[in-house]
Amino acid sequence: MQITKEQIAEWFQQLQDEICSGLEALDGTGKFVEDRWERPGGGGGRSRVIKGSVIEKGGVNFSAVHGDLPEKIANALKLPDKTFFASGVSIVLHPHHPQVPIIHMNVRFFETSQGNWWFGGGIDLTPHYVKPKDAKRFHRHLKSVCDAHHADYYPKFKQWADDYFYIRHRKETRGIGGIFFDRLSDQDGFTRQQRFDFVKAVGHTFLPIYKEQVALNINKDFSEKEKQWQFLRRGRYVEFNL
């Protein structure tokens, strides 16, 4: 039996709980503050924010929304559908320590009333100071996750991230990349369960990846010069998002 959208959304909620619990333990002092919200057209979510001793500010958000599919979106996605369901988890963490990198991850699912569905997401790292050994560790973890599900995943999704996280007018990347993927459906013979298993593996790798990056850098000395560079790189991060 095919896994349902409700089961997928339930797993995303569990992932949010797992990651929030792990990040509180990692930080040592910070606790997540939750804001539950409802979407007027259907569904809602749980927005969680943490401020602590390691994480200056971070968000781990879950949503599961549904309702009428706006005409503009339907046209952009080339879908004739009238209603939709979407769920996922999105994370951004900004650390106090300038030697500890920013990390971002999201995993998501989309389905329409006529049976169109796909998964999307990705994970990427934005160090303020790029350390080749740390970058290689990060990418080795992602390659291992991807290779366990398909040999083409890592090279394809790494390139997708390299292209996506690029500030064209500055001719520079936002960070050291990672993986990025979208509209993973039943093309090329994949089943819904196989795609979901890959997304779950990406979600579960978030905590060990970030714990390692924090452990590698949290005890290093820094000065006001490094903090000023951190502020500048954060500006680039915001600029990319805008």
Cβ atoms of residues 31 and 24 within 8 Å: yes
Nearest-angstrom CA–CA distance, 61 and 41: 19
Closest of 224, 203, 228 to residue 20, by C-alpha: 203
CB atoms inside a 10 Å sphere around CB 226: 15
Closest of 131, 90, 123 to residue 108, by C-alpha: 90
Catalytic one among 104, 139, 149, 169?
104
Is 104 among the residues known to form the active site?
Answer: yes
Closest of 88, 93, 52 to residue 207, by C-alpha: 93
Q: Provide CB contacts within 8 A for 234, sequence distance 6+.
A: 94, 102
* Residue 73, CA distances (Å) to 62, 70, 76, 77, 81 in order: 21, 5, 5, 6, 10
Closest of 56, 115, 126, 59 to residue 83, by C-alpha: 115
Active site residues: 104
